[in-house]
């Protein structure tokens, strides 16, 4: 899936190599600071130092992920260790002022500082260095991962293609199992990572790392967990209908011995390495399969379309709304193709290493429809960076992390077949009466199918961090959650010798994942708000804001706020609402829901 590097989530995760003089990198003792003015000065000076350190840390990670070798790994680990020390000092100091009445801006910055990191280190030099090494080594193992049989070695992209093609269940199973051979070496590293991360969280006053993560949403941690459950409750019936229909079609196509007509679906049969995106099943699941599919891959391949051309398509959508073109430095500094001379992390991510408009994309772009959409998503991150770049460092982040993930995907809801035809990527438009259900199915296979997986990843980690799931239960707990929430199961027996969570990038990279669930909710809610701004009247699924200057201006207004205000204030700018609400997503898919219920009549849905 698509995401920011963990050091880009909240820029505060990163502080690092800076001046060694303690007076230059650490605030004076809290005991000597008491007045609101003194606290404001402390925050301003600390924020200035942190801003400089974030730049050092982010550049170190960029260098490592675009050139994986022992030297860049050592630099990144050293920087990470120093970052953790500086963050720990700033967080500890800021906590002393929690009960002091200060001006609203200072109060907001103190709150952000206190919850600034997703990975606090223990206050011990050796433990901090060890933790920094772990969070460098695990993503490196992932990035270099290959499945080799004799002399034939395949990377994740090639293995994923086997699943997406869906031609041979045995080959699909081999690819699925093969990728999961890269993660067992991470297992002992991850166990130690949990111990050290939890120790750091306890020193900050949190019971475990999961509580710290759930505290970053302008609400108590327990309330946030309830909020996630509430939103999923709105969407679960829709997912169950999609699951029921998909299972029946797969069973008919491959046979009941491959996909049983009842119960969970084997994970390798859904066309994606993690069963999180079912888009490749569209030809099988389309309500009107004889209607030509909206698929631009062949047009992109025939172009031929370069990696830069692919990004230009995404840039055009933003500039048509009134956003600025990408800076020239973007084209000079981004990594858009996999280099031949070194190992890299191809997982798509957006960067602004100097936090002042040094926009970069790291991605191994291929001329496919999937990458076309991924690029739009990543540009959403980049334009968010661009719009809030003038804010002070603590405010240079999303309203909450789900907002950052939602920006580009919100606009993708307006990338219609007509727009693709205008770009010259689609020869003919689909039949208007049939197009609605076909397009809804296409979007649902990408976004609706993703919802329960987007909960599983952090639900598993929260249980691991709290100790509810012990190291002896890592893999069993992972599959229990995947079956419970996703309705899928491993196609072969798995044991605790495996470490299947580590086969997903965000686990070794320590990237919180609930943000993607929140993004899925927000993108439809924001889409409705932007459609209202554009003056659209009609069913939500028929709206496109493409080229609408008023909608673009309102969107820019929200992005420019960054994290300077609590997220309900940012949400209200576009939607007029102050609570996240999945009803817009339910309404968007209303035609598909009605059709699915008709198709599933007589079926035993659920698992």
**CA angle in degrees (0–180, nearest 5) for 440-444-449:** 170
Quickly list H helices, 278-343.
Answer: 282-285, 297-302, 307-320, 328-333
Instruction: Give the total residue count for the chain.
Output: 607
379 neighbors 318 (Cβ within 8 angstroms)? yes
430 neighbors 438 (Cβ within 8 angstroms)? yes
**Start-to-end CA span in the chain (Å):** 25
- Cis (ω within 30 of 0) for the bond into 279? no
Q: Active site residue: 383, 474, 516, 555, which one?
A: 516
d(CA 53, CA 45): 13
Q: Active site residue: 58, 93, 405, 489, which one?
A: 405
d(CA 58, CA 535): 41
Q: Active site residue: 5, 64, 347, 400, which one?
A: 347
| SS3 letters across 249-279 | HHHHHHCCCCCCCCCCEEHHHCCCCCCCCCH
Q: Active site residue: 243, 268, 404, 506, which one?
A: 506
Q: Active site residue: 5, 64, 376, 381, which one?
A: 381
- C-alpha gyration radius of the chain: 24
Which DSSP state fits 322?
T
**Which helix (H) or strand (E) covers residue 555, if one does?**
helix 549-559
d(CA 546, CA 528): 14
Q: Active site residue: 58, 93, 378, 439, which one?
A: 378
Q: Active site residue: 355, 376, 377, 400, which one?
A: 377
Query: Comparing C-alpha atoms, which of 181, 133, 134 is closest to residue 154?
Result: 181
Q: Is 355 a catalytic residue?
A: no
Q: Is 496 a catalytic residue?
A: no
Q: Is 405 a catalytic residue?
A: yes
CA dihedral 413, 563, 381, 67 (to 10 degrees): -150
CA–CA distance from 276 to each of 82, 358, 451, 506 (Å)?
36, 32, 8, 13
Q: Is 377 a catalytic residue?
A: yes
DSSP 433-502: HHHHHHHHHHHIIIIITTHHHHHHHHHHHHHHHHTSS-GGGHHHHHHHHIIIII-EE-SS---TT--GGG
Q: Is 534 a catalytic residue?
A: no
**CA angle in degrees (0–180, nearest 5) for 194-488-509:** 30
d(CA 346, CA 359): 17
Structure-block tokens of residue 604 = 């035993």
CB atoms within 10 A of CB 598: 8
Q: Is 400 a catalytic residue?
A: no
d(CA 38, CA 46): 12
**Residues annotated as part of the active site:** 347-348, 377-378, 381, 405, 506, 516
């Amino acid at each position: 899936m698509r995401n920011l590097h963990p050091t880009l989530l909240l820029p505060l995760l990163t502080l690092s190599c800076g001046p060694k003089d303690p007076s230059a990198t650490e605030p004076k003792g809290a005991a000597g600071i008491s007045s609101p003015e003194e606290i404001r000065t402390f925050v301003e000076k600390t924020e200035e130092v942190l801003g400089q350190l974030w730049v050092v840390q982010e550049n170190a990670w960029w260098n490592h992920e675009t050139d994986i070798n022992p030297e860049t790994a050592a630099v990144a680990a050293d920087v990470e260790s120093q970052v953790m020390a500086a963050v720990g000092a700033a967080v500890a100091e800021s906590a002393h002022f929690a009960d002091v009445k200060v001006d609203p801006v200072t109060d907001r910055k103190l709150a952000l500082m206190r919850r600034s990191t997703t990975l606090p280190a223990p206050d011990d030099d050796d433990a901090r260095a060890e933790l920094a090494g772990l969070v460098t080594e695990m993503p490196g193992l992932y990035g270099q991962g290959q499945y080799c049989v004799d002399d034939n070695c395949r990377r994740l992209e090639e293995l994923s293609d086997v699943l997406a093609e869906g031609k041979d269940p045995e080959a699909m199973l081999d690819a699925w199992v093969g990728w999961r051979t890269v993660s067992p070496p991470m297992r002992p590293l991850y166990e130690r990572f949990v111990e050290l991360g939890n120790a750091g969280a306890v020193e900050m006053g949190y019971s475990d790392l999961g509580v710290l993560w759930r505290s970053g949403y302008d609400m108590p941690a327990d309330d946030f967990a309830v909020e996630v459950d509430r939103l999923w409750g709105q969407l679960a019936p829709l997912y169950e209908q999609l699951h029921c229909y998909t299972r029946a079609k797969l069973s008919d196509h491959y046979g009941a011995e491959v996909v049983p007509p009842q119960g969970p679906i084997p994970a390798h049969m859904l066309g994606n390495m993690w069963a999180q995106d079912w888009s490749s099943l569209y030809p099988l699941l389309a309500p009107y399969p004889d209607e030509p599919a909206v698929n631009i891959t062949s047009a992109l391949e025939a172009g031929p379309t370069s990696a830069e051309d692919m990004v230009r398509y995404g840039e055009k959508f933003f500039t048509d709304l009134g956003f600025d073109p990408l800076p020239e430095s973007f084209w000079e500094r981004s990594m858009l193709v996999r280099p031949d001379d070194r190992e890299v992390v191809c997982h798509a991510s957006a960067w602004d290493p100097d936090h002042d408009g040094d926009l970069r994309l790291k991605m191994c772009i291929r001329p496919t429809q999937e990458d076309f959409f991924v690029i739009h998503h990543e540009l959403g991150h980049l334009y968010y960076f661009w719009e809030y770049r003038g804010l002070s460092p603590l405010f240079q982040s999303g309203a909450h992390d789900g907002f950052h993930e939602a920006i580009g995907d919100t606009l993708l809801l307006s990338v219609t077949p007509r727009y693709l035809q205008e770009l010259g990527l689609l020869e003919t438009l689909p039949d208007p009466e049939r197009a609605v259900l076909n397009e809804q199915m296409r979007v649902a296979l990408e976004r609706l199918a993703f919802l329960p997986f987007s909960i599983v990843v952090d639900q598993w980690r929260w249980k691991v961090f709290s100790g509810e799931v012990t190291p002896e239960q890592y893999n069993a707990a992972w599959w229990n959650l995947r079956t419970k929430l996703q309705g899928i199961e491993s196609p072969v027996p798995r044991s605790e010798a495996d470490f299947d969570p580590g086969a997903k990038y965000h686990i070794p990279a320590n990237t919180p994942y609930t943000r993607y669930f929140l993004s899925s909710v927000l993108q439809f809610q924001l889409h409705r708000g932007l459609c209202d701004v554009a003056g659209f009247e009609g069913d939500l699924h028929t709206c496109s804001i493409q080229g609408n200057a008023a909608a673009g201006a309102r969107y820019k207004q929200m992005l420019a706020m960054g994290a300077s205000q609590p997220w309900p204030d940012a949400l209200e700018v576009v939607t007029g609402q102050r609570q996240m609400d999945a009803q817009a997503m339910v309404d968007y898919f209303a035609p598909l829901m009605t059709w699915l219920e008709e198709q599933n009549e007589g079926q035993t849905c659920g698992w």
